[in-house]
C-alpha cells in the first residue's frame, strides 16, 4: 500500500535537498562570523593578557631599550579627546535627532537623513584631513582639541541617527495624550518623549563613543601622539589607538608587546560598553503602548 501522505517524487526530494543546502549555508556563514570574532578576541586576550600589567595603566612609555613602561598617558589622552568629542558631538547629535524625529517635514527630514548618512559614510581619514586643514593648520599645532573635533565629526551622524530611531520608538499616542493636556510641543519632547526614549538615547551615545574611541586615522592627523604627558589641550596628545598603531608598526619586540596589551584594553572597553548597553536594555521594560 502506498501512502498518500509521503511524497517520494524527485521534485520533492530536490526541493528538500535545496532547502537543506540553504539552511546549511546560512548556518555556516553565521558560525564563520562568530569564529572570526572568537579568533580576534582570543588572540588579543592571549597575547595582550600576557603583557598587560599594572604598569601599563600607571607608567608612560619607557625610553628605547628599557623594559617595562606603559600607556598611562595614552589612556588618559584617549579619555580627554573623547570627552572633548562628546561635549561637541552629543548636543548636536541629540538635537539633530530630535529635529528629525519631531519637527522636520517628511521631505526635509529625508534630505537631512541623507546628509547625515553621507556624513557617516565619509572615510575617517578624510575626516582627519578635514580637521587637519580646519584646526591644525589654523592653530599651527596638533592638539587634543583638533583630535576631539575630528572624533566629534565621526560621532555626530552615528549618534543623531541612533537617537532619532530611539525617539521614533515612542508611540505617537503619548505625544497625543500630552497634547490633549495642553502641554506645549517642546515640553512634550523634553518631558515626555525624551525620557521615554531615555535608555535608547543613552545606548546611542555610548555606542557612538565606543566607535569614536577606536578611531585611529583621524587622530594621527590631529592629536598626533606624544610619548610624554600632554602639556595642555592645545598640544599634541597621546591616544590609545595611535599609540597602538605606532608601537605595532615599530621594529622592537617590547613595542609589539605593549601594542598587544593596548589592543586588549581597547577591545575590553568596547566589549564592556556593548555588554553594559545590553544589560541596560534587558533591565528596561520597553512597553509599546
Partner 1 sequence: MTQHDTSTATKEREVSGTSATEHPAVQASSPGQSHVAHVESTAPGSLRVDDLEAYYGSFRAVSPVSMAIEGRKVTAIIGPSGCGKSTFIRCLNRMHETARGAHIRGHIYLDGEDINGPKVDPVVIRRKIGMVFQKPNPFPTMSIYDNVAAGLKINGIKSKERSMDEIVEQALRQAALWDEVKDKLKQAGTALSGGQQQRLCIARALAVEPEVLLMDEPCSALDPIATLAIEDLIRQLAPQVTIVIVTHNMQQASRVSDRTAFFMMNAQRSGELVEYDTTAKVFTNPADKRTDDYVTGRFG
> Least Å distance between CB 94 and partner 1?
17
C-alpha cell at 219: 587622530
Q: Which is nearer to partner 1, 5 or 180 (CB)?
A: 180
Which one, 14 or 191, has the nearer CB to partner 1? 191
Tell me whether residue 101 or residue 258 sits nearer to partner 1 (CB atom): 101
- Shortest distance (Å) from residue 107 CB to partner 1: 11
Crossing angle for the helix pair 253-283 and 240-248, to the nearest 10 degrees: 150
Shortest reach from residue 157's CB to partner 1, in Å: 20
Residue 226's nearest CA partner among 235, 236, 216 is 236
| CA dihedral sign, ordered 186, 189, 191, 192 | positive
Q: Would you say 1 or 181 has its CB closer to partner 1?
A: 181
1 versus 180: smaller Cβ distance to partner 1: 180
Among 281, 97, 283, 70, smallest CA distance to 189 is for 97
| DSSP structural state of residue 162 | H
Integer angstrom CA distances of residue 278 from 63, 156, 206, 267, 271: 41, 22, 11, 16, 11
Q: How far is the CB of 195 from partner 1 (least distance, A)?
A: 4
Q: How far is the CB of 177 from partner 1 (least distance, A)?
A: 4
Taking alpha carbons only, the member of 207, 220, 216 closest to residue 269 is 207
- C-beta separation of 187 from 209 below 8 A: no
- For partner 1, the binding residues (CB under 8 A) are 101-106, 109, 168, 171-185, 187, 191-192, 195-196, 198, 287, 289
Distances (CA, A) of 135 to 171, 179, 234, 260, 263: 42, 45, 10, 32, 29
- State phi, psi for 106 to the nearest 5 degrees: -50, -45
Q: What are phi and psi of 59, to 5 degrees?
A: -105, 155
Of 96 and 196, nearer to partner 1 (C-beta) is 196
- Beta bridge pairs of residue 69: 61
Minimal distance, residue 185 CB to partner 1, in Å: 5
Smallest separation, CB 225 to partner 1 (Å)? 44
Nearer to partner 1, 37 or 179 (CB): 179
Amino acid at each position: 500500500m502506498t501512502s498518500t501522505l509521503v511524497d517520494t517524487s524527485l521534485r520533492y526530494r530536490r526541493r528538500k535537498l535545496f532547502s537543506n543546502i540553504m539552511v546549511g549555508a546560512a548556518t555556516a556563514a553565521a558560525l564563520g562570523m562568530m569564529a572570526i570574532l572568537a579568533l580576534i578576541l582570543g588572540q588579543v586576550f592571549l597575547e595582550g593578557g600576557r603583557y598587560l600589567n599594572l604598569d601599563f595603566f600607571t607608567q608612560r612609555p619607557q625610553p628605547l631599550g628599557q623594559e617595562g613602561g606603559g600607556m598611562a598617558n595614552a589612556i588618559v589622552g584617549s579619555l580627554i579627546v573623547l570627552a572633548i568629542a562628546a561635549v561637541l558631538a552629543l548636543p548636536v547629535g541629540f538635537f539633530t535627532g530630535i529635529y528629525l524625529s519631531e519637527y522636520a517635514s517628511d521631505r526635509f527630514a529625508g534630505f537631512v537623513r541623507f546628509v547625515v548618512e553621507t556624513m557617516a559614510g565619509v572615510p575617517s581619514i578624510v575626516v582627519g584631513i578635514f580637521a587637519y586643514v580646519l584646526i591644525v593648520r589654523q592653530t599651527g599645532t596638533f592638539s587634543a582639541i583638533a583630535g576631539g573635533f575630528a572624533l566629534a565629526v565621526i560621532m555626530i551622524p552615528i549618534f543623531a541617527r541612533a537617537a532619532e530611531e530611539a525617539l521614533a520608538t515612542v508611540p505617537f499616542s503619548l505625544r497625543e495624550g500630552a497634547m490633549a493636556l495642553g502641554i506645549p510641543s517642546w515640553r512634550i519632547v523634553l518631558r515626555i518623549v525624551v525620557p521615554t526614549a531615555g535608555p535608547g538615547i543613552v545606548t546611542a551615545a555610548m555606542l557612538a563613543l565606543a566607535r569614536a574611541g577606536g578611531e585611529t586615522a583621524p587622530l594621527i592627523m590631529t592629536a598626533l601622539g606624544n610619548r610624554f604627558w600632554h602639556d595642555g589641550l592645545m598640544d599634541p596628545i597621546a591616544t590609545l589607538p595611535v599609540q597602538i598603531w605606532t608601537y605595532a608598526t615599530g621594529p622592537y619586540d617590547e613595542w609589539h608587546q605593549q601594542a598587544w596589551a593596548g589592543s586588549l584594553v581597547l577591545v575590553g572597553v568596547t566589549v564592556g560598553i556593548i555588554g553594559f548597553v545590553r544589560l541596560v536594555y534587558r533591565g528596561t521594560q520597553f512597553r509599546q503602548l
